[in-house]
Amino acid sequence: MTHATDGIMSLLRTATSELHGSTEQQTFQVSLGRGELSREDYIHWLSQMYHVHHTLEVALKTLIESNSIAASVIDEGQFKVRMLIADLTYFDSSPGQESPLPATAKVQDQLEELAKTSPIALIGQHYVLEGSTNGNSFAAKSIRKAFDIEGDAGASYLDPYGSQQREKWKNFKDNMNAATFSQEETDLIVQAGVDMFQNVANIGQALAAQSLSFTTDTNS
């Protein structure tokens, strides 16, 4: 059990630290960060993340409309679906053109179940994806170079905040730590954060497994 008296961001960071490290070392994630993905694999990844974010954001909209504490932490300016649509369009693809992989569909099912049974836990899932913008903003530089991208579209999901990245993350952390979550809510949020890191890892493994560009991922 976590301790709600500790800052929730510290609790989340500690609980997800091992998974965070192992996920970053996965073959697919390393290739993404270095800008070494093929155009096709990058589009596949954007497409799967679109499915995840679309399902999550539908649930989060309902949550922040009904829960003032959640609304103090999450706002629609943090939502990424519009950026994923812009990036897919840049590559002549479209949202929903690719079906969810089984690993992605499993995440969607989990999100929909949480929305019904423990909606506050969605904050933990959101924390992982929002936090990924810190590392992804560096990956964006490699992706832009690899695909000769000029401007935002094409890599806007990776780098949604540009020069405001540090400020946006600080505000998110401050708002999270200022929120008054109960012990039960804290436990749910932290577990959901752990689950989302595993989900991201599973999607990366699934994408690597279907691509001829990768050998078997040994970081499973």
pLDDT of residue 216: 45
User: Does residue 45 belong to any structural domain of this protein?
Assistant: yes
User: Does residue 200 belong to any structural domain of this protein?
Assistant: yes
pLDDT (tens digit, 0 to 9) for every residue of the chain, 220 residues total? 454 446 999 999 999 998 888 888 888 999 999 999 999 999 999 999 999 999 999 999 999 999 999 999 999 999 999 999 999 999 999 988 899 999 999 999 999 999 999 999 999 999 999 999 999 999 999 999 999 999 899 999 999 999 999 999 999 999 999 999 999 999 999 999 999 999 999 999 999 998 877 754 444 3
pLDDT of residue 26: 87
Q: How far is CA 136 from CA 33, 144, 147, in A?
A: 7, 12, 16
Q: How far apart are CA 5 and CA 161, in angstroms?
A: 31
Residue type, 34: R
pLDDT of residue 213: 75
User: Does residue 22 belong to any structural domain of this protein?
Assistant: no
pLDDT of residue 2: 52
DSSP-derived secondary structure letter, 181: -
Domains identified in the chain, total number: 1
Residue 59 · residue 122 · CB < 8 Å? yes
User: Does residue 2 belong to any structural domain of this protein?
Assistant: no
pLDDT in tens, 105-117: 999 999 999 999 9
CATH of the domain at 70: 1.20.910.10
Tokens standing for residue 119: 């909606």
User: Does residue 57 belong to any structural domain of this protein?
Assistant: yes
- For the entire predicted model, the pTM comes to 0.92
Q: How far apart are CA 88 and CA 194, in angstroms?
A: 28
- Domain of 101 in residue numbering reads as 35-208
User: Does residue 135 belong to any structural domain of this protein?
Assistant: yes
User: Does residue 30 belong to any structural domain of this protein?
Assistant: no
User: Does residue 213 belong to any structural domain of this protein?
Assistant: no
